[in-house]
Chains A and B, each alone.
Chain A
């Protein structure tokens, strides 16, 4: 059983008048409660794939099956309903939210738009969501710009889980966080995955992070799949040129551990 199946996906853009393939014949699957990482250098197509899966951009070719429905064929009310099951968290939550909105407002939107809870219940639901991501319910009244980067990313996760998704696209979601905060956010994501059986499409340029949280990895190069497989196996013994280059370029912390 799969949550998401992407087949032969392709997207071309024009750059300097010439067409180039941002995504070229990419296929992968993600199962329930599984984390699949997309890795690759800048321009390898990672974020374009995220945008295609979220239908923020339409592909030129290929097929996307989400929860066993032809996702690209959906439109209108059917698309909106299905979108509740597919959420996203980006690198910079400040860019994703209205900075002057309160935390409560940010969390109220999905509950209202997707008819998750009637108005009378929402305040209670928002408090429960905040608690679920490790935040004090009292934070609800604060403005987004007033809270710390780590708290903001927790709010972004709370908003993503508000609609009970089966898949969350995490596009460099921990890349801008301090390392001490990053660990806590990754633990939270793993905990949610275990409890709620959420699958993650985890986009990152950092193989160390990928190795820590992903079950499988797809390594991309110039829009194509260079190699894929078990995350630790691929990173331990990359076969493709780009895989080898990425592993080689990752800084090693050589410590004589006790």
Chain B
């Protein structure tokens, strides 16, 4: 297996009421090319922060340290081992190239915050020095940074927030195709229609012309997925992408993601609070808690031979269709 991206000692902290609150406390893991990796954890575990950090979507106020290294086809070979690169020391942040320094994709799924992202040399960072070093922005991305929309597709929990409410669906998807693949507008719209068909929306021709509010939650999530995969990204990140949907729609979206990932040979980062749901999809599961990576292993090992007590507790807390009812356990019933 070869790594698509390598995360080393990733640290993220947010400022809340002037106090620095750590969200990720030094996460290291490799995402293998073509694998389906689930990141699971409870609230405050840092799982969404990890997804945003990988996508280069962290808000300006976040303090970032560590390294996210991409091995994209064009830039993959002939790289020195990370450990000998001179610019990975957390105290030398300015030396790394930054996500913000690259022409970030203006994909509609990016919530439009593109250009101010992680800009190390301006804004609230100016003048803040700790021990003489600006502790920030250590994204070393080789010569070909991963671009959101082009190399990374991102699906959020709430599709309404990632779709433009006043733009027809077809245009939102065609824009991604036009921007990243450089197709003409007629070809981009034709591709948008193909994508709507691929995410199994009935009557794609009609859906091209409707607005988000005319679709159900599950249909909107299908559109968001179509936009996320429009440019043929290597990595698809689904951050609680089914959590706001009911059980039946959730199962449909999970099976859609499974099929698209297989068809396009994408790598999947599936962020979820639900270990049972994650297990239906993932080759490997990473368990996060309080910003730390507790355990990482093959799905079968995590379910059947968890090494960490916390993983076991998460599994035991699952209420499935074969769990003994709670009122029986307590020996009482009405």
Contacts and interface: CB of A to CB of B under 8 A. Distances in A.
A69 B42 CA distance: 44
Contact of B304 (A182, A205, A255): A255
A129 B327 CA distance: 23
A92 to B, nearest CB: 13
Interface stretch (B100-108, B111-119, B175-183, B245-253): B245-253
A165 B163 CA distance: 44
Contact of B320 (A31, A149, A180, A253): A253
B277 to A, nearest CB: 5
A252 B319 contact: no
B246 A182 contact: no
A206 interface: yes
A35 B326 CA distance: 12
A31 B251 CA distance: 34
Given A208-B319, A211-B323, A251-B280, A41 B303 contact: no
B75 interface: no
A253 B315 contact: yes
Interface string B248-286: 111110000000000000000000011111011000000
Interface in A62-93: none
A179 interface: yes
Contacts of B125: none
B274 A34 contact: no
A215 interface: yes
B43 A249 contact: no
Given A41-B248, A247-B321, A213 B315 contact: no
A21 to B, nearest CB: 18
Interface residues of B, number: 38
Contacts of A35: 334
Name which of B216, B280, B318 has the most chain A CB atoms within 10 A of its CB: B318
B83 interface: no
A246 B247 contact: yes
A212 interface: yes
B321 A252 contact: yes
Nearest to B250: A249
A209 B279 contact: no
Using C-beta atoms within 8 Å of the partner chain, give the interface range for chain A: 35 or more
A186 B248 contact: no
Interface stretch (A52-60, A104-112, A134-142, A187-195): A187-195
Contact of A208 (B251, B273, B280, B318): B318
Name which of A182, A190, A209 has the most chain B CB atoms within 10 A of its CB: A190
Contacts of A103: none
A223 to B, nearest CB: 15
B320 A179 contact: no
Interface of A is mostly: helix
A180 B317 contact: yes
A121 interface: no
A251 B279 contact: yes
A190 B279 contact: no
Contacts of B279: 251, 253-254
B321 A215 contact: no
A33 interface: yes
A31 B303 CA distance: 39
A41 B249 contact: yes
A29 B277 CA distance: 33
B74 interface: no
A151 to B, nearest CB: 13
B246 to A, nearest CB: 4
A232 interface: yes
Contacts of B280: 251-252
Interface of A: 31-35, 41-42, 149, 178-180, 182-183, 186-187, 190, 193-194, 205-209, 211-213, 215, 231-232, 235-236, 245-256
19 contacts: A32-B334, A41-B249, A179-B273, A182-B319, A183-B317, A187-B330, A190-B332, A212-B326, A213-B327, A231-B325, A235-B321, A236-B321, A249-B247, A249-B252, A251-B277, A253-B315, A253-B320, A255-B303, A255-B304
Interface of B: 42-43, 216-217, 245-252, 273-277, 279-280, 303-304, 313-315, 317-323, 325-327, 330, 332-334
5 smallest CB-CB distances across A and B, nearest first, come from A249-B251, A178-B42, A208-B319, A179-B317, A253-B276
